[in-house]
């Protein structure tokens, strides 16, 4: 899956988890929690959605790689390299 596709997947998940958030001006380099009202349960929801949709396991030790859009896309790219876009 291409980085742009992964970004779209994350945006879709964020829209479901935080429907009241305006994601149109999300800065990919800034941590999600500095831009959005996300708590630890919301963060776990993101991880669980990725597990459910793509059957990937993200160890708790790797959660630090999911703090911003750019770091999340970089982390997920090798894990989703063979996943079809639009799943």
Supply the pLDDT for residue 83: 84
What's the pLDDT tens digit per position in 6-25? Answer: 999 999 999 999 999 999 99
pTM of the model: 0.89
Q: Domain spanning 3-19+30-79 has what CATH number?
A: 1.10.1200.10
Give the integer Cα–Cα distance in Å for 23 and 56. Answer: 25
C-alpha span between 13 and 19 (Å, rounded): 10
Cα separation, 79 vs 54, whole angstroms: 9
Residues 28-83: pLDDT tens digits? Answer: 999 999 999 988 899 999 999 999 999 999 999 999 999 999 999 999 999 999 88
- Domain coordinates of the chain in residue numbers? 3-19+30-79
Predicted confidence (pLDDT) at residue 86 exceeds the cutoff of 70: no
């Amino acid at each position: 899956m291409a980085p742009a596709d992964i970004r779209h997947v994350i945006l879709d998940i964020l829209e479901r988890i935080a429907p009241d958030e305006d994601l149109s001006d999300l800065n990919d380099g800034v941590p999600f929690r500095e831009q959005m009202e996300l708590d630890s349960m919301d963060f776990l929801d993101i991880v669980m959605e990725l597990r459910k949709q793509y059957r990937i396991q993200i160890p708790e030790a790797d959660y630090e790689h999911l703090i911003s859009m750019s770091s999340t896309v970089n982390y997920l790219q090798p894990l989703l390299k063979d996943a079809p876009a639009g799943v």
